[in-house]
Structure 1
Amino acid sequence: MAIINELIGDFGRYHLWLCFIVFLSRYNVSFHQMAIIFLTAPVQHYCPGTNSTCCSNPVFNKTVFTRTIVTEWNLTCKSDWFKDLTQTIFQFGVFCGSLIFGIASDKYGRRPTLIVSIIIEIFAGIMSSFLPDYWSFSFARWVVGFANGGCITIAYVMVMEYVGHVNRDTVSILINIPFTTGNMIVAGIGYLIRDFSYFLLLISVLNVILLFYICLLPESPRWLLVVNKTEQAIILMEKVAKINKLPTEHIRSKMELYQFEHRTARPRSTALDLFRTPNVRRNITVMSFIWLVCSYCFYGVSYYISHLTGDLFINVLATGGVCTCASIISIPLIKFSKRKTVVIFGNVICSLCLIAIGFVPEGNASLVVGCLGEMHSYIIFIVIYLYCSEMFPTVVRNAAIGICSMMARVGSMIAPFAANLRPYGKWCSPVAFGIFPMISALLCLLFLPETKNCELLMTLEEAEAIGRSTQLRRPDNGIEMEEIEV
């Protein structure tokens, strides 16, 4: 619906203000996603009076961390796998939240669902810092992850639905900068606060600032038009155009005319519509697998690298810095390259780097190769968010990104266990991470359409057409559609 950005602008003062406030929500996502590295930080221990390293009351070395969930609930020896289960439970929460909040956002709107997810995340995060036993703590982490999944999907879609296609690719990259810089900030917080309870309390309380969304966060005009709330959409668009110093006198007449011309029965779309037609079904299936692999590699390698030889805080800081560089590098890549090209070559390079970790000397060499692989994994993460939002229409866009994000959480749930294959061989974890990006590259090459320079799709019919021998493109100055060869 190019007419919306024709009337409110591609990127003006209002868009800049909206991006600023929505981008802030990416910090809380980053804090909770990366917290596991400090919650389960490795702590040396011994059993007093015996040569064994396994006992019911071990003595922990607390010179680096005074309290972690490992020291608090003795997650050592036979209970060692519980620390990985904590992250799996958290990511399962993100899995559920991505789907449920994605569907709810398409039904009830972007604004209320994002606000609800943030409120839940703040209170569950604060609660998790006080709970006395492992299972109640893990449940609270599940709730935090559930809300976190909503923040991830809704914030991204809201920004994409405001920004015109001229600047959409750049904004889709910049929204990731708070996440990567958040990784570096959380390394600093972990360095200053070595008690996991106070650490969780601080990263949760910092997000209270986001409650100002209740007063300031707008709704998406695209969503309002899709659900036939035309009057609300017009009032909002006139406000946006006025702030962007654009004329407002023709907005009402043009939008009423557009709605009149497109008022033919619009059946209510659901997430199931993504699986009803062959091309859309194929696209969502392949895209979901690519998301799963990308998350599996990114979080798994982040976890693996953070526990390599060297200082934990420096390793986390390094991965955050590398991902920030990846975001900056992605701007020219995504601006001048096709979506498929970046995804295919990024996966191939990522695959080769991750496999190489198992065969280079451990230390600086393995850290550099690992960071290079993680950088390409993160570049793919950036591109597939944009790629997915362009591939699926407004009526089910949040549901599509929610499903893909949900599958990404499957990858991140598996990742800690793959990262802990190290005792079976130095090469086991790197190979377990490295083979799947190559499969993703092949699937993308064979099955997915190109979406570069496409306006955001509005209907499922357009989404089905983009998977056939034609694809829909709209010029900036109108809403005409023309067929071109893919």
Structure 2
Amino acid sequence: MEMREQNTDDNKKITTTEEKDVILRITGSFGKYQLWLCILIFINKFPVAFHQMAIIFLSPKVSYICTDTNTNNTCPCLNPSYDKTIFSTTMVSDFDLICSKKWLTSFAQTLFQLGTLIGSVLFGMAGDRFGRRIPLLVAVVLQVTMGIAAAFMPEYWSFTLVRFLIGASVGGTMVIGFVVVMEFVGTKYRDVVSALYQVPFNMGHMLLPVFSYFFRDFRHFQLSISIPTILLLCYFFLLPNSPRWLIAVKRTEESIHILERVAKVNGRPTEQIRTEVENHQKAIEKTQLKKGTLIDLVRTPNLRKNIMAMSFNWLTCSYCFYGVSQYVGQLSGNIFLNVAASASVTLLGTLLSIPLLKLFGRRTLVITFNFICACCLLILPMLSGGIGTVICASIGVVASFIVFVVVYLYCTELFPTVVRNAAVGFSSMMARVGSMIAPFVISLGDVAVWLPPLVFAILPLIAGFTTFLLPETKNCELMNTLEEGENFGKKSTSDKSIRI
């Protein structure tokens, strides 16, 4: 059915959409069950933050004296004596990652992010093939076992390989966890919930300096951030499968059982659930859309332009957030306070993004905060250090993270149903590429101290201008077909046709 967008109240449009959605009609948009499920899934974002940001304290900046020549931080150095004033051992001191081996520190984090990329793809595919529950349980078990095992790895390569596997598990828990939440929550609440999904990550980031303060040995630190993930094993008993996925693969009886339980918890009627689900099953078997592929995203000019601009934004915000967050740990001053301050303002930024998403368009927010991030990073080399440097870098981090929050939702709205998973998956892959590059940019500080922030500033500046090419999606119905996706944004907003 074709429908022209009218100047009606947003809530009326959302209500109409949710009335058409059988799952939401049965369970409600957001009730006690969805609240409980959000809490259950959100806790896995704490270990995601622990492991993704751990490199800040696994390999902090460490000075040394070369005992052969009695000089500070010089190369080559056969017998370094490391400063243990702050940290008793780090990756750098334990594996002697200095001079010709200094690049291995950045390489370790790059491999971790490569693991996250591969895990996102493999577990995402497994989630479509085997359901959300089993792949998420596998990712959790992998994360618990490899996280603890990493603390006992005796040398660099075994430690890095295990961290690669931790990265794969992190990719799995992030992707599948987000999908599970989005498939249970109604349209009216998805923008708020998608932003709140990032809050536990911010809180986990804030907790890292606490762990590191009390565990100054990098192996003890690794163990301390891994043991709490054992709590996630409760998923074996508490995590439901997605009724949407069960209906899609014709496991109707299981989906009815889950939907009846959700409806009871939310205080909704259960008498007609079986009839509604069975009728819905028959309807989608007749009208099921042909699935699109990644090739379909680049086959036509408008979709090709949109996926290129969107994926570049994902690459940029990941590149800046992970890179500049790690860079903050290298700044002068107290490393624990620096990282805590950076994480705290990022949390404020995440909370700020909720009203911003309600008030402003997706494109406006992405452009604005890309430019704010770029400006802060361009100013950074002009500062002489101290608290001003930390504040400026922290604003850059929070701006890039707000972009991260927005593009999650923006990408979901910008592409039609048949290629939506492909678009989000490809954009997520590009985000991992950005986070893989970032550690090597930080190492440019050995060439010149002003170089890392300058190089970090270039991409958000380009991304801000690139986003002008994208159409606005706020208050638009989700598209279904490739034809709609190709035509979207070509017409004026006053004559926008959307299929539902």
State the TM-score, normalized to the length of structure 1. 0.91
Q: Which residue of the partner structure matches residue 444 of structure 1?
A: 467
1:337 is the counterpart of 2:356:
no
CA distance in 2, matches of 1:103, 1:93: 15
Residue 297 of structure 1 is aligned with which of 301, 316, 320? Answer: 320
Cα distance change, pair 276–431 in 1 and its aligned pair in 2 (3 A) = closer
Amino acid corresponding to residue 17 of structure 1 in structure 2: W
- What's the offset of the Cα at 1:71? 0.8
Paired residues of 1:350 and 1:377 also in contact (CA < 8 A): yes
Q: Which residue of the partner structure matches residue 31 of structure 1?
A: 50
- What's the offset of the Cα at 1:399? 4.5
CA distance in 1, matches of 2:125, 2:478: 19
Residue 442 of structure 2 is aligned with which of 419, 429, 440? Answer: 419
- What's the offset of the Cα at 1:467? 5.7
Cα distance change, pair 239–13 in 1 and its aligned pair in 2 (3 A) = same
Paired residues of 1:122 and 1:205 also in contact (CA < 8 A): yes
Cα distance change, pair 418–449 in 1 and its aligned pair in 2 (3 A) = same
CA distance in 1, matches of 2:191, 2:258: 24
Cα distance change, pair 457–103 in 1 and its aligned pair in 2 (3 A) = farther
CA distance in 2, matches of 1:461, 1:238: 37
CA distance in 2, matches of 1:368, 1:398: 37
- What's the offset of the Cα at 1:17? 0.2
1:380 is the counterpart of 2:403:
yes
Alignment of 1:299-318 (within 5 A): 299-318=322-341
Q: SS state of the match for residue 87, structure 2?
A: coil
Paired residues of 1:470 and 1:483 also in contact (CA < 8 A): no
State the TM-score, normalized to the length of structure 2. 0.89
Alignment of 1:99-138 (within 5 A): 99-138=121-160
- What's the offset of the Cα at 1:237? 1.8
Alignment of 1:151-170 (within 5 A): 151-170=173-192
Q: Which residue of the partner structure matches residue 352 of structure 1?
A: 375
Number of residue pairs matched? Answer: 474
Paired residues of 1:97 and 1:145 also in contact (CA < 8 A): yes
Cα distance change, pair 359–276 in 1 and its aligned pair in 2 (3 A) = closer
Q: Which residue of the partner structure matches residue 477 of structure 1?
A: none
Paired residues of 1:153 and 1:401 also in contact (CA < 8 A): no
Q: Which residue of the partner structure matches residue 13 of structure 2?
A: none
Cα distance change, pair 259–463 in 1 and its aligned pair in 2 (3 A) = farther
- What's the offset of the Cα at 1:161? 1.6
Residue 213 of structure 1 is aligned with which of 223, 231, 235? Answer: 235
Q: Which residue of the partner structure matches residue 12 of structure 2?
A: none
Residue 188 of structure 1 is aligned with which of 210, 216, 219? Answer: 210
- What's the offset of the Cα at 1:26? 0.2
Which digits, 9 at most, give the CA deviation of each residue in 1:345-396, with x for residues without a partner?
Answer: 1111111111111122322112111111111111111111122233345666
Residue 453 of structure 1 is aligned with which of 468, 475, 480? Answer: 475
Amino acid corresponding to residue 134 of structure 1 in structure 2: Y
Q: Which residue of the partner structure matches residue 222 of structure 1?
A: 244
| Ranges in structure 1 where 5+ consecutive residues have no aligned partner | 472-481
Q: Which residue of the partner structure matches residue 47 of structure 1?
A: 66
Paired residues of 2:477 and 2:498 also in contact (CA < 8 A): no
Cα distance change, pair 280–213 in 1 and its aligned pair in 2 (3 A) = farther
Q: Which residue of the partner structure matches residue 75 of structure 1?
A: 97
CA distance in 2, matches of 1:277, 1:231: 39
Paired residues of 2:41 and 2:177 also in contact (CA < 8 A): yes
Q: SS state of the match for residue 497, structure 2?
A: strand
- What's the offset of the Cα at 1:403? 2.4
